[in-house]
Each structure stands twice: as C-alpha cells, then as structure tokens.
Amino acid sequence: MSLISLDQSEYKSLDAKSYDREKRRLRIELLKLQEDVIKNNRKLCIIFEGRDTAGKSTAIRFFSEYLRPQHFNYVQLGIPTKWESSHWFQRWKKTLPKSGKISFLDRSWYTRAITEPIMGYCTENQYRSFMKRVNNWEEEQAQQGVELTKFYFSLSKDQQQIRMKARKNSELKYWKLSKNDEKIITKWNAFTLYKEQMFDRTSSKKNPWISINSNNKMIARLTSLRYLLIKTEYEGKKILKPTKWSKSLNNYSIDLEGTNFENLSYEQFIVLSKYTDS
C-alpha cells in the first residue's frame, strides 16, 4: 500500500490573515498550473472522496474559484441508471478531462468501493469486480494522458456529528442532509472497514491515496492544494517554502543523476537541489 497521510491536526487553528495570505499564494501557483495544462493539452483529474461533511465540495470551490471556467469541469454525478450501474467504468469515463482541461470530481468511481456496498446499491460481485479491475483501469487512463490525484478527506466521528447537527439546524444548508446521509452516518464502523480495504488494494505507487485530515477545513484545503502543486510539474513553478502548518509535509521530490528521491522534507530538498542542474 502506498497511502500518503497528511495529518495537520497538531495545528488547532490558523488565523484569518495567515490563511488569506497562504490561500492567495497557492492560488497564483494553481493558475500557473492551469495555464500549463491549457498550453500543453494536459489532462488533470483530481478526485475528492471522504465521509459526508468532510469538506469535499468546499475544497473544490476553494481550488477552482479563480481558474478559467472554460478549462475546468466540476463533476458530481447523481444516482446511476440501471445501465450505468452495470457499466461502471463507462459511466465514469465520460467525466475524465479532455485535453487542456482539469476535472474536479466530487465523489468518483470509488463510491463503488465504499458507499454502494455498504448501502446495498451494488451486488457483491459488482464490488469485487470493481476492486479487481480499478487499478488496471486507472493505468489505462494514465496511458491516455490522464494525470490522476486521489484525495481522501478524513474526519473524526465527533467532528462529523457536530457538522451534521449544524447542517440539520441550518436554514440555508438543511437540504444538504438527505435521508441517505442520515442512514450512512449510522454505519461508521462499516464505512471504516471498506475505506481501509480501498486504501489497501487501490493505493498504488503510481496512483496513491492522499489522506487529508479535515477536522480543520481551512488547513485541509491548504494542505491538499499545496500537495498538488508540489507534486505536479508546470511552467514557471515556484518551490513553495513551508509555512508553520505545513512543515511536516514531506512531499518534495527531486531527480539527481537519474535517481529519483521522493518524500523529502523541504530541508532535504534544498540540500539535494544544490547538486542538480535542473
């Protein structure tokens, strides 16, 4: 398993001024990345999975607010038809980005790995077939130029209950709490079991899961965007020196004389970068 866990829970708070400053800095870099995607006809696919109220949708809005709208897609599919349920990968194939675009998926084909089997929306055979085929399918998409990033937003049971209660009592957000949501939150242990199975079998070296602690939504957004920018190459890229909340993110990499060094701290990256011409 190649799970990458980015847990910033040691930082209990982030003041508004620091948040806004870092947000602006990261968004400028994200625009550079989008320009490179457009210029070089790249295909970036970024999926956001996690429990209800983990902050997936707001994270996507955070990423995309200042991007060129004609060059990215927000994807949130509804209930699958009978045909789509039995042709699962064909259903999701159409959501993948075209050349020069970024696709943000608010839940993805991985609903078949967790939600569907828990709720009885797919058969045992459909679940097993998905788990057996998904890694090869993702590799096929990579061969066609799709650059995939898989974020999983994780939160504690207590924090989910707090957010669910706030959503239920909100005059503006009450509609976000569906009957299905109320059912699945009672299956916390089953969700955890299927999640761990998903990580174990589908977090490959080429397409690892990036687990983000989202108990603090502000830090979760910054952490996920910072990770994407550090691990993705693009023209005019500025190496982002870590701030206090991101010092434990060991996700820098460098190629030195044909050998790739990964999971480096910023300090390690700086030392090694002195010995490369790139």
Q: For the segment 45-59, what is each residue's pLDDT rounded down to a tens digit?
A: 999 999 888 899 999
Same domain? 152 vs 263:
no
Structure tokens that stand for 29 in this block:
């870099």
Torsion of CA 106, 110, 113, 114, to 10 degrees: -10
Same domain? 26 vs 103:
yes
Alpha-helical regions (H) of 65-187? 82-86, 88-93, 115-119, 124-143, 157-169, 179-184
Same domain? 255 vs 220:
no
The whole domain housing 264 covers 248-278
CA–CA dist 3, 1 (Å, integer): 6
Same domain? 218 vs 267:
no
Q: How many domains does the chain have?
A: 2
Q: Are 8 and 248 in contact (CB under 8 A)?
A: yes
Same domain? 219 vs 253:
no
At residue 278, the pLDDT reads: 41
For residue 151, the domain's CATH number is 3.40.50.300
Pairing, β 209-213 against β 4-6: parallel
pLDDT digits (tens, 9 = 90+) for 170-204: 777 777 766 776 677 788 899 999 999 999 999 98
Same domain? 165 vs 264:
no
Amino acid at 93: K
For residue 71, pLDDT over 50 is answered with yes
Same domain? 158 vs 270:
no
What rounded mean pLDDT belongs to the chain? 87
Same domain? 162 vs 264:
no
CA–CA dist 227, 213 (Å, integer): 13
Same domain? 167 vs 29:
yes
At residue 135, the pLDDT reads: 97
SS3 102: strand
DSSP conformational letter for 107 = S
At residue 251, the pLDDT reads: 63
For residue 257, pLDDT over 70 is answered with no
CA–CA dist 85, 240 (Å, integer): 42
Q: Are 130 and 91 in contact (CB under 8 A)?
A: no
CA–CA dist 230, 226 (Å, integer): 6
Same domain? 111 vs 26:
yes
Which whole number is the average pLDDT over 6-18?
68
Residues 6+ apart with CB under 8 A from 158: none
CA–CA dist 191, 205 (Å, integer): 24
Same domain? 180 vs 276:
no
Strand order in the sheet with 209-213: 4-6, 209-213, 146-154, 43-50, 101-106, 72-75
For residue 165, pLDDT over 60 is answered with yes
For residue 277, pLDDT over 50 is answered with no
At residue 239, the pLDDT reads: 80
At residue 264, the pLDDT reads: 75
Same domain? 108 vs 140:
yes
Q: Are 26 and 226 in contact (CB under 8 A)?
A: yes
